[in-house]
Amino acid sequence: MFTHICVSAQDLETSKKFYDAALGALGVASIGQVNDRTCVYATPTGKLLVMTPADGAPATHSNGGTLGFQAPDKAAVDAFHASGIANGGTDEGAPGHRAGAPGNPYGAYLRDPVGNKICAFAAPEA
């Protein structure tokens, strides 16, 4: 459905450090910085662009928005959460089963350095 998703960054290096760690724990690596304001993470199913705002205004986050990433297993979810916190993120929901979500998946939530909410989920049996 999506070709890409963009999230804002106030300081690209700070956000890149966070996403390198959190997404690296899920096996997703940066494909690099494409210009002075954009870093790209890609998988065969889509891209995440971390960007400073083009209009020069301060970066902000989406109220109520969450980006969800697929994790191969519970250990990757745990590593995603720990790596994200160790690299400038904040806890928005510790790793565990999400009884309110369909299928009771195992997941964790973080806020990136700007306040964007991201999560990683693994299938309950993973």
d(CA 50, CA 11): 10
Cα distances from 41 to residues 30, 46, 123, in angstroms, run: 4, 9, 22
pLDDT digit of tens for each residue in the chain (126 aa)?
678 899 999 999 999 999 999 999 999 999 988 889 999 999 998 899 999 998 889 988 887 788 999 999 999 999 999 999 999 999 999 999 988 777 789 999 999 999 999 999 998 776
Contacts of 73 (CB under 8 A, 6+ apart): 122, 126
Name the CATH architecture for the domain at 4-53+65-122: Roll (3.10)
Q: What is the pTM of this model?
A: 0.88
